[in-house]
Amino acid sequence: MDISLKNVEYRYQVDTPFERLAIKDVSIDIPAGTFLAIIGHTGSGKSTVLQHLNALLKPTGGEVVLGDKVITADKKQKNLKEVRQRVGIVFQFPEHQLFEETVEKDICFGPMNFGVSEKEAKIRAREAIAHVGLSEEILEKSPFDLSGGQMRRVAIAGVLAMNPDVIVLDEPTAGLDPRGRKEIMDMFSDLHKQRKLSTILVTHSMEDASRYADKIVIMHSGQVYRTGTPLEIFSNPEELIKMGLDVPEVVKFQQKLERAFQRKFSKTCLTIEEITEEISSFLKRGDVQ
Amino acid sequence: MMEKMIFGRYVPADSVIHKMDPRSKLIIIFLFVCIVFIANNAITYGALVVYTFLMLGLSKVPMRFVFGGLKLVFILILFTFLLHIFLTKEGPVIFELGWFKVYEEGLRQGIFISLRFFLLILMTSILTLTTTPIAITDGLETLLGPLKKVKFPVHELALMMSIALRFIPTLMQETDKIMKAQTARGVDFTSGPVKDRVKAVIPLLIPLFVSSFKRAEELATAMEARGYRGGEGRTRYRQLSWGLTDTMMILLLAALTVLLIVFRT
**Residue A66 and residue A24 in one domain:** yes
Closest residue in chain A to residue B211, using alpha carbons only = A96
Give me the phi and psi of A191, to 5 degrees please. -60, -45
Q: Is residue B217 in some structural domain?
A: yes
Co-location of A27 and A49 in the same domain: yes
- Furthest CA-CA distance within chain B: 72
Q: Which of A163, A186, A209 is the last residue of a domain?
A: A163
Co-location of B246 and B204 in the same domain: no
Residues in chain B predicted with pLDDT less than 70, given as ranges, are: 1-8
Residues B219 and B250 in one domain: no
Which residues on chain A are in Cβ contact (under 8 Å) with B181? 89, 91, 94, 96-97
Asked if A55 and A176 sit in the same domain, the reply is yes
Domain co-membership, A152 together with A169: no
Residues B126 and B15 in one domain: yes
Structure confidence at residue B1 (pLDDT): 43
What's B240's DSSP letter? P
DSSP letter assigned to residue B148: G
Residue A280's domain comprises 248-289
Residues 105-144 of chain A whose Cβ lies under 8 A from any Cβ of chain B: 109-110, 113-114, 144
Whether residue B8 is found in the same domain as residue B117: yes
Give the whole-angstrom CA distance, residue B228 versus residue B150: 23
Q: Are residues A5 and A68 in the same domain?
A: yes
Question: In chain B, how many domains are there?
Answer: 2
What is the rounded CA–CA span in Å between residue B74 and residue B114? 9
Q: Is A252 part of a structural domain of the chain?
A: yes
d(CA B83, CA B92): 18
Q: Tell me: do B151 and B65 sit in the same domain.
A: no
Distance CA B76, CA B116 (A): 13
Higher pLDDT, A263 or A202: A202
The predicted pLDDT at position B4 comes to 56
Residues of chain B in contact with residue A15, where contact means CB-CB under 8 angstroms, are: 4, 64-65, 68
A140/A177 same-domain check: no
Whether the CB-CB separation of B64 and B56 falls below 8 Å is answered with no
- Alpha-carbon span B51 to B57, nearest angstrom: 10
Q: Does A12 touch chain B (CB under 8 A)?
A: yes
Helix (H) or strand (E) holding B141: helix B133-143
Residue B208: in which H helix or E strand, if any? helix B202-225
What is the model's pLDDT at position B21? 92
B91 and B40, same domain (yes or no): yes
Residue B7 sits in the same domain as residue B94? yes
Q: Tell the burial category of B126 from Cβ atoms under 10 Å away from its Cβ (0-12, 13-18, 19+).
A: buried
Q: What is the mean pLDDT of residues A159-167?
A: 93
Domain that residue B61 falls in: 2-131+241-263
| Cβ count near A238 (within 10 Å) | 9
Q: Are residues A178 and A64 in the same domain?
A: yes
Stated as kind and residue range, the H or E segment containing A65 is strand A61-66
Whether A242 maps to a domain, the answer reads no
Same domain, A151 and A171: no
Other CB atoms within 10 A of residue A27 CB: 14
Please indicate, yes or no, whether residues B97 and B60 belong to a single structural domain of this protein: yes
A174 touches chain B (CB under 8 A): no
Residues 6 or more apart in contact with residue A82 via CB below 8 angstroms: A69
Residue at B234 is within a domain: no
Instruction: Give dist(CA A39, CA B73) in Å, integer.
Output: 43
B182 and A162: CB-CB below 8 Å?
Answer: no
> Is residue B235 in some structural domain?
no
HEC states along chain A? CCEEEEEEEEEECCCCCCCEEEEEEEEEEECCCCEEEEEECCCCCHHHHHHHCCCCCCCCEEEEEECCEEEECCCCCCCCHHHHHHEEEECCCHHHHCCCCCHHHHHHHHHHHCCCCHHHHHHHHHHHHHHCCCCHHHHHCCHHHCCHHHHHHHHHHHHHCCCCCEEEEECCCCCCCHHHHHHHHHHHHHHHHHHCCEEEEEECCHHHHHHHCCEEEEEECCEEEEEECHHHHHCCHHHHHHCCCCCCHHHHHHHHHHHHHCCCCCCCCCCHHHHHHHHHHHHHHCCCC
At A287 the pLDDT is 59
Smallest CA–CA distance from B212 into chain A, residue: A96
Mutate to test the interface with A, among B59, B185, B199, B212 (most CBs of A within 10 A): B185
pLDDT by residue (tens digit) across B89-137? Answer: 777 877 777 777 788 888 888 899 999 999 999 999 899 899 988 888 8
Measure the CA–CA gap between B35 and B253, rounded to whole angstroms: 9
Average pLDDT over residues A123-133: 92
B54 belongs to a structural domain = yes
Structural domain includes residue A225: yes
Q: Which residue of A has its CA nearest to B9?
A: A18
SS3 A38: strand
Same domain for A68 and A193, yes or no, is yes
* Total domains, chain A: 3
Between CA B247 and CA A213 the distance in angstroms is 65
B34/B28 Cα distance (integer angstroms): 10
Show the beta-strand stretches assigned E in B90-209. Answer: 93-97, 100-103
Q: Verify that B117 and B248 share a domain, yes or no.
A: yes
Chain B residues whose CB is inside 8 A of the A17 CB are 11, 61-62, 65
Query: Mean of the per-residue pLDDT values for chain A?
Result: 88
Q: Quick check: pTM over 0.90?
A: no
- Yes or no, beta carbons of B185 and A113 under 8 Å apart: yes
Do A1 and A68 lie in a common domain? yes
Q: Is residue B232 part of a domain?
A: no
In this structure, are B170 and B247 located in the same domain? Answer: no
Work out the average pLDDT over A14-40: 88
Residue A176 lies inside a defined structural domain of this protein: yes
ipTM score above 0.90: no
**Domain final residue, candidates A116, A148, A163:** A163
Query: Is A81 in the B-facing interface, judged by CB distances under 8 Å?
Result: yes
Helices B133-143, B22-35: inter-axial angle, 10-degree rounding: 80
Cβ(A69)–Cβ(A109) below 8 Å: no
Is residue B233 in a domain?
Answer: no
Write the CATH number for A67. 3.40.50.300
Q: Check: CB of residue A125 under 8 Å from CB of residue A157.
A: yes
Examine the domain organization and report whether B182 and B249 are in the same domain.
no
pLDDT at residue A4 is higher than 80: yes
Give the pLDDT score at A214: 92
Are B151 and B188 members of one domain? Answer: yes
Residue B197 has a pLDDT of 82
- pLDDT digit string (tens) for A230-289? 888 888 888 888 887 888 888 888 888 888 888 777 778 888 888 888 888 878 876 555
Q: Is residue B139 part of a domain?
A: no
Q: Check whether residue A69 and residue A172 sit in a common domain.
A: yes
The answer as to whether B100 is a domain residue is yes
Tell me the pLDDT tens digit for each residue of A92-108. Answer: 999 999 999 999 999 99
Residues A72 and A1 in one domain: yes
| pLDDT score, position A178 | 87
